[in-house]
Amino acid sequence: MVESKGMPLTIESLKTAFKSGDLTCEAYVNTVIERAENLKHLNALISVDWEQLRLAAKAVDESGGAGDALNGIPICFKDNIQTGVLPASAATKALAGKRTCASEVATRLMGQGALVGGMGNMHELAFGITTNNGYSGASKNPWNEHRIPGGSSGGVAAAVAAGIMPAGIGTDTGGSVRLPAALCGIVGFRPSVGRYPLTGMVPVSHTRDTAGPMANTVRDCRILDRIMADKRDVSIDKTKEVSSIRLGVPRAYFYDNLDQDVAWLTEKALNTLSDMGVTLIDADIPNVGELNEGCSFPIALYEFMQNLPEYLSANVPDVSVKDVADNTLSPDVRGLMASLLSDGAMPTSVYREAIDVVRPQLQNAYKEYFDKYGVDAVIFPTTALPAAPIGDDETVELNGERLPTFSTFIHNTDPASNAGIPGISMPIGLTRDGLPVGIEIDGPYGSDEQLLAIAEALEAVFAFQQRA
């Protein structure tokens, strides 16, 4: 793993250092830039403007406000989130260099003093989980540079995990915040759909898309969430008493065919939680796999072909969907685009069945589960396996079998995405090969603040477990 060299890598520690005068924003930014350049081979950042960042940091110091809110904190944004400071290309050639108005999410963060530290590399157009991009190149996992960082927010995860940036903002359609967070050993939070505004982000699916904070601690994700959701009056001082937490353990589907190390670390985490007083209830969510499959791709693929043209028309009217497809360079995404523009387009009837019938059934299955068992959240391994080798774009090995890479990695993260409920991934340990493993908790729709409070309580337990 790349060492952090003692840098303060949390928002909280930076705020404290800025306020005390122990560290200036300009000095910290210079360290960030030096580290980013030294770790350029990770290919975590797709675009930067170091001179602009230095000037912004200097202005913060001169204002005397460093450490107030997010004042002076550099944040990495996924390359499909418009900032108005750097271009947002969704890591695809046709949108390269397009500088558009800031997204509402970025506006809220920058309005609280956050600096645009850089744009994170990503799987092209957010349609994949490896961040092995034919246009912008492969991002590398800081724990093992021959492995993927996950995706599609892989560059942001790599930048945070490598200590280049203290935090970042990704987007999550089927797992694209939680999945790379798990593979890179950081925290990634996907909120309830609608908690954050979607304006100013290159879309996949308005039903499923959301931005999500990525950081080294749950507390930092809570700080970012409060601002992104425009709920700055919500206290984040409260955490849950561990002994009051009730978690469902849905072993059918979510615990199927796990990598041996992932299974062992997950069971160790569950045993530790039980020993610390958490109530664990073994109970399955009925038909969750079938319901998820019935609405996942129909919704995402149909809405993409509606949402992308709308985005292009409003933000880059000189670029057409055909231009995007013709200039897509990642083989997996290029094939998908070609299919969607030909006879592979998703039929309206299939979409209507998915959005009007199957998705409500999935949402109801979760609601009935939470109500019936009285649990605060469900808990399961974020991914069935740790980070795969770079280049395993089509298939990946799991327990001696070659399986489809995309569906294997999103297996556990996708249902919550389609149900629109919040989820957060936290690191729980390392495999025998030194690769991070994450565990996820998903809560009822709208329970975001409670879920984050629970996650912070569990994080303390896992940290203790790792030190033991």
**pLDDT, tens digit, for every residue of 241-289?**
999 999 999 999 999 999 999 999 999 999 999 999 999 999 999 999 9
pLDDT in the model for residue 98: 85
Give 170's strand partners.
Answer: 212
Task: Tell me whether residue 423 is in a domain.
Answer: yes
CATH of the domain at 199: 3.90.1300.10
Q: Decide if pLDDT at 467 tops 60.
A: no
b vs e for 209-238, b when ≥16 Cβ sit within 10 Å of the residue's Cβ? bbbbbbbbbbbbbbbbbbbbbeeeeeebee
- For 336, 339, 352, the CA distances from 344, given in Å and listed in that order, are 8, 5, 17
pLDDT in the model for residue 7: 45
What percentage of the chain has pLDDT greater than the value 90? 93
Task: Tell me whether residue 153 is in a domain.
Answer: yes
| Residues belonging to the active site | 78, 152, 176
Task: Tell me whether residue 433 is in a domain.
Answer: yes
- As a whole number, mean pLDDT of residues 151-166 equals 97
- As a whole number, mean pLDDT of residues 368-396 equals 98
CA distance 314 to 329: 24
pLDDT in the model for residue 464: 58
The domain tally of the chain equals 1
Task: Tell me whether residue 61 is in a domain.
Answer: yes
Coil/strand/helix, residue 116: strand
Q: How many residues does the chain have?
A: 468
pLDDT in the model for residue 465: 61
Peptide bond into 152 cis (omega under 30): yes
Of 158, 176, 160, give the one whose Cα is nearest residue 224: 160
Task: Tell me whether residue 337 is in a domain.
Answer: no
Task: Tell me whether residue 340 is in a domain.
Answer: no
- As a whole number, mean pLDDT of residues 24-39 equals 97
Q: Decide if pLDDT at 418 tops 60.
A: yes
Q: Which residue has the tokens 């959701």?
A: 229
- For 66, the domain range is 11-290+349-462
Number of helices (H), then strands (E), in the chain? 17, 15
Task: Tell me whether residue 200 is in a domain.
Answer: yes
Q: Which residue has the tokens 């930014």?
A: 29
What strands lie across the sheet with 377-381, from one edge to the other? 45-47, 115-120, 74-78, 167-171, 211-215, 187-190, 423-430, 436-442, 377-381, 246-249, 279-282
Task: Tell me whether residue 422 is in a domain.
Answer: yes
CA distance 180 to 43: 15
